[in-house]
Amino acid sequence: MKTFLLYLRRLVIGPITASFIISAGWMWYHYTHHPHAKFIWMTIAVAAAILVANKIFKELYRWLIIKFERHYFWRTDFYYFLDELFFLCSLYFIVFFSRNELLSLGIFAVVSLAVFIRLDDFLGRHPDDDWRTAGRAIFVLGCVIFFVDAFFQYFSYANYILDSNIKFYNIVLFRSIAMSTLWMAGFALASMLYVSIAGRFRHAFLVFWLAAYIFALFIGVANVGVLSQSSLYLSPEVVAHAGGGGMKVYLWPGVILVAAFLAVSTIFILVIGRFVKKHNNIDRRVWYFYDFGIILLALMALFTVASLRSTPEAKILAAFVNEWRGANPTATLNPVVQNKLEKFGITPNLNEFYINERDNVYSTTTKLLPNKFDKKKPNIVIVFLESFSSRLTSVYNPDLKGLTPGLEAMASATGTTIFHKVYNGSTPTITGLLAELCSFLPPTGHNEIQNEKHLQKHHLYCLPKALSDNGYESNLYITAVDKEFANKDSILGSMGVKESWGTFELSKKISGAPLAWGYSDHQMFPELYNEMKVKRAENAEPFLLMLSTVDTHPPFNLAKDVVSYGDGSNNLFNSYHTTDDAFAKFWNEFVKSDFATDTIVVAIADHAVFPTAYDKDTLPNLAGKMTFYDELAFMTYIPDSILPKEVNTLASSLDLAPTLLQILGINTANTFEGRSIFDDRAKYPNLLGMHEFGLWIDQTSFTTTSAQIDYAPPMDLNCTEEIIGASSTAPLTLCEYKNYYEWKRLMLEEGRLWYMEK
């Protein structure tokens, strides 16, 4: 029985199980899991190859040990221990099943501790205790270095906004391994030289390594300070502006950081001091073995875990080296282009680090809310209508009779203002929301944000934050799909949104399966209204609630609870009619409730419909003639409103945030690029659109007949420096606009578009 249990133990924790764990983890991380049968067979095949490789390694190890006549412990006891060690090391590959960075770090730490405990216990059987003593010392040093690096890597992962490599799971662990093994390899090399050279000069290598590591600690701590305030890495730009506002902004937590740096440095110096003593008391052959093993392990890690180049340390080093070489990316806003941008209301201050800071939202003193809201602020509900170009509503387009009766009911209500000639500044939804809520033309695109993870969050000043600073402590954003799609959750959090609901959160409130791309509009609007009642019951007023509709998202046949328009033959019209029907039910409940007396409702398109929506069967006169930019549906209901019924000021979605803030009487410092429609928007009769799909220019002030519209993706434009700013009197050209686009991207990456509270 005892023999059977021993055999079973060896089988469970033996090389077969270990090979399968390694293969399964590796294949799960790197390859698709479908079809399942193919994945299983590939995993088994790779496991078999690993098993054979392990057997070859064991026999090679045994041959070398015998050839060099090593101690019997290594020839017998340790040889049989290799299978258990192989199994324990295979457990590292469990991290490949984790998609949580902290959990991955935890798994790695636990497995490392298990490997150390078993290895330490086994080395205790060796008659020479030097092996165990040196192993313990190296483990302590490795733990200190790894956990310090893990902190730096995770803090960077959680705060840096432009890290395209976070799309790879376990990136924090991989970077921590890469950096810690690099430092351990440096220590091992210094250690080998220390035990090889006689005299005091041998200390120089360890001292040099220690000084380099402490300097790296200083850079890491400084980078934490920069990240905590700007979400950007330490860079030459930060240093250049540290003497002014930058020092105050970037190094705000300086005292804490300096204290942490001194504490960690002291601990590290003490650890190294103990190491030097142990070096003098332990056979140098033991150190040679460990040092060679560390260097070999580091080389394996650096070649298999290709994350070193993406670490913050590598990026910081590259930035300063490139600055010294004059190779850092540069972009200059042409003075002629800057002057032309002023005609669009874009007035960056190039003399300041934060170039977009403005003292107030508006300059007029005209009151826009009725007196009833002097003492109690109104609640605000914003409905972002997916792709609702104005021409696809019966409010703006009488030819489509009965297409959107819900919006017609809102438009006809006393207190509703209908805005005409408001165009979208960006597209699709995520950049459209940046334009509307942050009054910001984003020089980024959906692909960069969703797939490349190029923008995770920001420090723009946005409507939700401005409202929360002025009494609107409760706010919520509702979306039909996963709230993390396109980094929406983190980007909205950067705007000041305190709570977001996506598919998972809605599933706890809505019975039944999602009926569209996520939950349908008919499923979401009742939850919006229910949340309004919850906020009132909890006395969480005034509140800001926002909802993005989904049924009009291409390909226009997603909703299973579709409400047909006419004979139901046109999917485009069916989808708009369906969203409107869901809105109509919400609106009918709203106008019959007390909310109609104290709540503002804004209905605005997040962006215009994509031009591919217009085909020869739908609106043949528009097919092939439209761009991604168009007039938006935009209406605002205010109880007992004193605003005009219709507004015809040429405006952009950039103007939403400043316009709402002026309506509410909130005149705050900001970084907005838009203007309030009720303030000075009419002084800038020109509009700009910006997105990866194209640059759009509407220069109405240059013509008395119609706007001049140009359109081209910025990367497709072949422009020379000679033609940029060639004429100071001609309208803004696409190449000149591209100059602004490229300059603005650099300003975004340098953090110079942010708003910092003083």
HEC string of 244-304 equals: CHHHHHHCCCHHHHHHHHHHHHHHHHHHHHHHHHHHHHCCHHHHHHHHHHHHHHHHHHHHH
Q: Is residue 555 part of a domain?
A: no
406 and 301, same structural domain?
no
Longest dimension (CA), the chain: 99
DSSP 13: T
Q: Is residue 23 part of a domain?
A: yes
- The residue written with tokens 């939804």 in the block is 429
Closest listed residue to residue 629, CA positions, set 398, 435, 393: 435
406 and 291, same structural domain?
no
300 and 255, same structural domain?
yes
In angstroms, the CA 133 to CA 55 distance is 30
DSSP 641-667: --S-SEE---EEGGGHHHHHHHHHT--
Q: How many domains is the chain partitioned into structurally?
A: 3
621 and 704, same structural domain?
yes
> What count of other Cβ atoms lies within 10 Å of the Cβ of residue 494?
22
321 and 243, same structural domain?
yes
In angstroms, the CA 3 to CA 5 distance is 6
150 and 283, same structural domain?
yes
Domain of 406, CATH number, reads 3.40.720
Closest listed residue to residue 448, CA positions, set 161, 233, 711, 718: 161
356 and 320, same structural domain?
no
309 and 392, same structural domain?
no
Boundaries of domain holding 72: 1-98
Residues (pLDDT < 50) of the chain are: 4-8, 11, 243-252, 758
Q: Is residue 580 part of a domain?
A: no
DSSP 462-519: -HHHHHHTTT--EEEEE-SS-TTGGGHHHHHHHHT---EE-HHHHHTTS-S---BSBS
DSSP 725-743: TS-SSSPPPHHHHHHHHHH
Residues facing 474 on adjacent strands: 543
Residue 387 φ/ψ region, left for φ over 0, alpha for ψ in the -120 to 50 degree band, beta for the rest: left
DSSP 712: E
Closest listed residue to residue 119, CA positions, set 302, 281, 293, 304: 293
Q: Is residue 732 part of a domain?
A: yes
The torsion angle over the Cα atoms of residues 579, 583, 585 and 588, rounded to 10 degrees, is -150
SS3 track for 107-169: HHHHHHHHHHHHHHHHHCCCCCCHHHHHHHHHHHHHHHHHHHHHHHHHHHHHHCCCCHHHHCC
Q: CA 327, 329, 331 angle in degrees (round to 5)? A: 130
140 and 83, same structural domain?
no
Structure tokens at 120: 């330490």
Q: Is residue 486 part of a domain?
A: no
Closest listed residue to residue 80, CA positions, set 64, 98, 62, 92: 62
Q: Is residue 316 part of a domain?
A: yes
What does pTM read for this prediction?
Answer: 0.78
In angstroms, the CA 487 to CA 507 distance is 20
In angstroms, the CA 618 to CA 612 distance is 11
Tell the burial category of 134 from Cβ atoms under 10 Å away from its Cβ (0-12, 13-18, 19+).
Answer: buried
Domain boundary among 268, 290, 325: 325
Do the beta carbons of residue 631 and residue 420 sit within 8 Å?
yes
78 and 34, same structural domain?
yes
Domain boundary among 47, 80, 98: 98
Q: Is residue 413 part of a domain?
A: yes
Q: Is residue 756 part of a domain?
A: no
135 and 91, same structural domain?
no
Phi then psi for 511, rounded to 5 degrees?
-85, 140
297 and 148, same structural domain?
yes
Amino acid at position 732, single letter: L
Residue 462 φ/ψ region, left for φ over 0, alpha for ψ in the -120 to 50 degree band, beta for the rest: beta
Kindly calculate the radius of gyration of the chain based on its CA atoms and give it in whole angstroms. 32
Domain boundary among 54, 80, 98: 98
Identify the three-state secondary structure at position 53. helix
Do the beta carbons of residue 661 and residue 432 sit within 8 Å?
no
